[in-house]
Structure 1
């Protein structure tokens, strides 16, 4: 399969380990990210509205850190697009 498809063998075997016949944990991981994104997007929107739309990525990210959220700045930037 790895010769036909342009993927590394390590990627194939890692995905094979994550997925068995009944469950695919890679899909569950993606769903978990979507849930986190949804929650963080609500908080980002709230902070942005409280600042009357004046805060950019950096200030929103700093406010989230002050409130105790653990989130990367690039994630805030992606969700603010």
Structure 2
């Protein structure tokens, strides 16, 4: 199979990555993002900002951890 490129580290991007890995652990996958790539629910961002919480407080995993866990770059 050809290498796969996913654009965006939002919920859809990381969900797609996880689903690909359930079916195929060998095909190279690269995830491209304009932000730091931390995994958090982006829809919760507006609520966090409204209550004075920083976006970083929402992150449940760094981009590096997600890449390592899912064998991606």
Output the TM-score relative to the length of structure 1: 0.23
Output the TM-score relative to the length of structure 2: 0.25
Higher relative contact order (CA 8 A, sep 6+): 2
Larger helix share, 1 or 2 = 1
Query: Which structure's CA Rg is the greater one?
Result: 1
